[in-house]
Amino acid sequence: MQHPMKNTVKTAAVALVAGLLAAACSQGSATKGAESTPGGKVTVRYFTFSAAPDHVKDLDTIVAAFEKANPSVDVVVETAPYDQYFTKLQTSIAGGTAADTFELNYENFVTYASAGSLLDLGTVRGDGDDDAAYAAESLAAFKHDGKQYALPESFSTVVLLYNKDLFAKAGVAEPTADWTWAEEQAAAAKLTDKKKGVFGDFQPVTFFEFYKALKQAGGEFMAPDGSKTTFNSPAGVKAATWLVGKVGKTMPTEAQIGGTADYDTNLFKSGKLAMWHNGIWQFAGLKDVPFNWDVVVEPGDSAKASAVFHNSVAAAAATKHPKEAGAWARFLTSSSVAAQTRIASSWELPPVSDQAVLAGYLKDPKPANRQAVFDSLNAIALPPVIVRQQEMQDAVTEALSNAAAGRVTVEEALKTAADKVDGLLG
Amino acid sequence: MSDPMSDPTSDPMSGPMSGPGARSAEAVSGRSGRSAEAVPGRSGRSAGAVALAEREVTAPPTRPAHKRKRLRYAGTVAFFLLPSAIPLTLYTLIPMVGSLWASLHEWNLITPMRWIGLGNYSELLAAPETRAAFGHTLYFIAGYLPLVYCGGLGLALLLNRAMAGRDLFRAIYFLPVITSWVVVALMWKWLLNPASGVVDWALGLAGVDGPGWWTDPDWAMPSIILASAWKDLGFVMIILLAGLQAIPKEFHEAATVDGAGAWQRFRHITLPLLSPSTFFVVVISLINGFQVFDQIHVMTGGGPAGATQSVVELIYNLTFRYGRAGAASALSWLLFAVVLIVTLVQVRAQRRWVNYG
């Protein structure tokens, strides 16, 4: 048992330090919400980063269907942009004001599950609930200590998006699934027209691109037992050189980007970017651009490897309505309404076991080569996950941007990053 | 010892007010924050007011008959202190105790705390990031303090003369002070944007290839310093202006009659008599400088390449980005210790150079 004095001080610390900051930072959105509405209705709050801004209406469709099937439950949606989402989630959990249900990505799932913040969804199963609706590997990814702490909600992959018109104008052959880095680089050089402000290629110089490029170059980020990093290797140098070498040549520099939000999205949408390494979540936003575009599996080097991102829905361990929260999480992740809505709006992919549902994804005519999304799943690169995840990501990204700006060599950058990450593992 | 209040000359810092009513007002305003300091002409005496109030409360009663009166007086003081004492306790003292407790634990906000004693402190003291953050903070202060003081002094001297539209200019220069930091930082971020900013555009017209400002590690801190000095110029100006107006004209007239030039009068009359205001500005600016955060968080987020990672920005990142609230609390206490030491040194040193004559 804890010492009562210790408890009091701790409560004070939690409530005041974190709670105040949480309240100050969250614009109040994550801290409000009536527990139950008049007429005996139960309110379930849901906090999400993937809905806004392109898919709020699609989420509303799913919410409406759930409320129709469960008239006693009122689902309240709260959204935050991805880069603020986890700060808000963390502080709201610390302050005891967390939403009943919230989204978690694969990289952050372990942290929250091992912290005891999540409800074991196995304890609130309904009679008709069937785990067979989920793709088995997806379901297993969100198990921790044998308990289902979250349900797989969606997955997405990163592909090479390209502007067909720019390729045609420059007389360059369009990318194919057989392309390697060399072909991408040659095409990018031809497509870049700095006078017109047209860039050939855009691939962010970040941790997320690096672990994937590393795998494409035949390297590994971490030793199999996770005891130390292995990315400071010839393959690592090759991958980092590949990313860093684009900056200032076929891709804008940090100063040219000037910290502008969604710079690459706007560059592509304005028809001034020929090739863009980005996720399939961009499809919906590109529906109405005034040029032709398509996608292809990302070029590799000695191997193919595509990044796959996995999101899930979890319920807070502290929720007052575990039954309803669990039902909503299940509906949002496995109901046919949810799956169909995601497919129809190109809102990532539902991790369902029913291949017929997934096949519907191919019916949409734009982009024509949607098959590439499924092809990219044949060889995937999963992000390395450690306890001090964010520090690792920041260390790698910072070292690489130093190399990109020419402040250090690629070799120095990798050594710095490897030393730092090794220090985080201990 | 005689009551310092009864004889204004016995304590160089005491004000001209006397009597219990004036004392309690002085004590309340001196304790509750900057209200006393904002009164024009009295700015340099605020520190004196605090010291005085403390002496008042702790001084032993001179005669037993006064005991009850004293007690009632203390009750009155306590009553007037309550409005600031309650929020001070709730929002400053208790969280400080909480953070001291948290600093002895490993804690990521969502898991239960784990006791590690002084582990956070030893880890921080050994970490190169901590040293770098203190280094960046000192760099900021070294650039910001001279700039904001000299700029503020220049403006104060300029706007202390009889000229048309003087009040308007004073108001204009004070506007940034009352503007939100986030607004100011976003504005400067845009002005200094290397791709689309007005500053580099204007430099381009003049044939100068503008720097990368906050996207370039070498220019990022100067950008922050520039924005900070711009915002705080008006505050320093107002304080120094009040100090200037408290200098009796006779001194200048007498010196002029004695044949002193403008520079000599500035050097030997204005500067020494302005020293209480200067002292106040330096103390406040240093404390604010050590706590620099808002402008950095908005303009660079500590980047590029960590070049503007200040101590408080590191505290923020440790807590909300890296889930190390314990280490962040420990760093807060290290910062508190540094600020306390620096301020104590200043209060000591002021006896040598601050002139309350």
Interchain contact, B320 vs A388, CB within 8 Å: no
Residue B10 has pLDDT above 80, yes or no: no
Selected residues 298-357 of chain B with any CB under 8 Å from a CB in chain A? 303-306, 319-323, 325, 329
The overall average pLDDT reported for chain A is 87
**Cα–Cα distance, A381 to A309 (Å, whole number):** 10
Interchain contact, B325 vs A114, CB within 8 Å: no
The overall average pLDDT reported for chain B is 83
Return the domain boundaries, chain B.
20-102, 121-353
Selected residues 18-77 of chain B with any CB under 8 Å from a CB in chain A? none
B188 CB-near residues (< 8 Å, 6+ apart) = B223, B226, B227, B230, B295, B299
Interface test mutation site (partner A, options B88, B97, B110, max chain A beta carbons within 10 A):
B110
Give the ipTM: 0.77
| Distance in angstroms between the alpha carbons of the first and the last residue of chain A | 30
| Closest residue in A to B306 (Cα–Cα) | A398
Interchain contact, B320 vs A13, CB within 8 Å: no
Chain A contacts of B189, Cβ < 8 Å?
A: 259
Q: A397 to chain B, minimum CA–CA distance in Å?
A: 9
| Ranges A37-51, A276-290, B133-147, most confident | B133-147
| Closest residue in B to A397 (Cα–Cα) | B305
Asked if A203 contacts A214 with a C-beta cutoff of 8 angstroms, the reply is no
Q: Quick one: which of B60, B105, B99, B58 has its CA closest to B77?
A: B58
Residue B6 has pLDDT above 60, yes or no: no
Q: Specify the DSSP element, H or E, that contains A78.
A: strand A73-79
Instruction: Report the pLDDT value the prediction gives residue A8, as an integer from 0 to 100.
Output: 46
| Closest residue in A to B213 (Cα–Cα) | A255
Interchain contact, B305 vs A257, CB within 8 Å: no
pLDDT top residue among A32 and A300: A300
| Closest residue in A to B318 (Cα–Cα) | A391
DSSP three-state, residue B316: helix
Question: pTM (2 decimals)?
Answer: 0.78
Interchain contact, B304 vs A390, CB within 8 Å: no
Interface test mutation site (partner B, options A16, A260, A416, max chain B beta carbons within 10 A):
A16
Asked if A371 contacts A385 with a C-beta cutoff of 8 angstroms, the reply is no
Helices (H), A2-47: 4-12, 19-25
CATH number of B121-353: 1.10.3720.10
| Closest residue in B to A403 (Cα–Cα) | B305
Question: Amino acid identity, residue B307?
Answer: A
DSSP three-state, residue B166: helix
Interchain contact, B321 vs A258, CB within 8 Å: no
For the segment A159-178, the average pLDDT, to the nearest whole number, is: 95
| Closest residue in B to A98 (Cα–Cα) | B110
Instruction: Report the pLDDT value the prediction gives residue B62, as an integer from 0 to 100.
Output: 58
**Cα–Cα distance, B121 to B118 (Å, whole number):** 5
Instruction: Report the pLDDT value the prediction gives residue B225, as an integer from 0 to 100.
Output: 96
A95 CB-near residues (< 8 Å, 6+ apart) = A14, A15, A18, A19, A22, A23, A31
Interface test mutation site (partner A, options B320, B329, B331, B333, max chain A beta carbons within 10 A):
B320
DSSP B134: H
DSSP A98: -
A-B interface: how many C-beta pairs under 8 angstroms?
Answer: 99
**Cα–Cα distance, A287 to A371 (Å, whole number):** 17
Strands (E), B94-173: 105-106, 114-115
Q: Does B186 touch chain A (CB under 8 A)?
A: no
pLDDT top residue among A195 and A16: A195
**Of the partner residues B95, B101, B195, the one whose CB lies closest to the CB of residue A256:** B195
Q: Quick one: which of B199, B265, B207, B274 has its CA closest to B237?
A: B274
Instruction: Report the pLDDT value the prediction gives residue B274, as an integer from 0 to 100.
Output: 94
Q: Which domains does chain A have, with CATH numbers?
A: 25-153+310-363 (3.40.190.10), 157-308+372-425 (3.40.190.10)
Interchain contact, B109 vs A87, CB within 8 Å: no
Q: Which residues of A touch B (CB under 8 A)?
A: 9-10, 12-14, 16-18, 20-21, 25, 87, 90-91, 93-94, 111-112, 114-117, 254-260, 388, 390-391, 394, 398, 401-402, 405, 407
DSSP three-state, residue B322: coil
Instruction: Report the pLDDT value the prediction gives residue B15, as an integer from 0 to 100.
Output: 38
Question: Amino acid identity, residue A280?
Answer: I
Q: Which tens digit of pLDDT belongs to each residue from A7-53? A: 444 444 444 444 444 444 444 333 344 444 556 789 999 999 998 88
- The torsion angles phi and psi of A79, rounded to 5 degrees, stand at -120, 155
Q: Which tens digit of pLDDT belongs to each residue from B264-311? A: 999 999 999 999 999 999 999 999 999 999 999 999 988 788 899 999
Share of chain A above pLDDT 70, in %: 91
| Distance in angstroms between the alpha carbons of the first and the last residue of chain B | 22
Q: Which tens digit of pLDDT belongs to each residue from A97-111? A: 999 999 999 988 988
Sign of torsion over alpha carbons B101, B104, B110, B111:
negative
**Of the partner residues B196, B322, B325, the one whose CB lies closest to the CB of residue A390:** B322
**Cα–Cα distance, B91 to B89 (Å, whole number):** 6
- The torsion angles phi and psi of B195, rounded to 5 degrees, stand at -90, -40
Q: B187 to chain A, minimum CA–CA distance in Å?
A: 14
- The torsion angles phi and psi of A300, rounded to 5 degrees, stand at -115, -170
A168 CB-near residues (< 8 Å, 6+ apart) = none
Sign of torsion over alpha carbons B39, B44, B47, B51:
negative
Chain A contacts of B110, Cβ < 8 Å?
A: 90, 93-94, 111-112, 115, 117
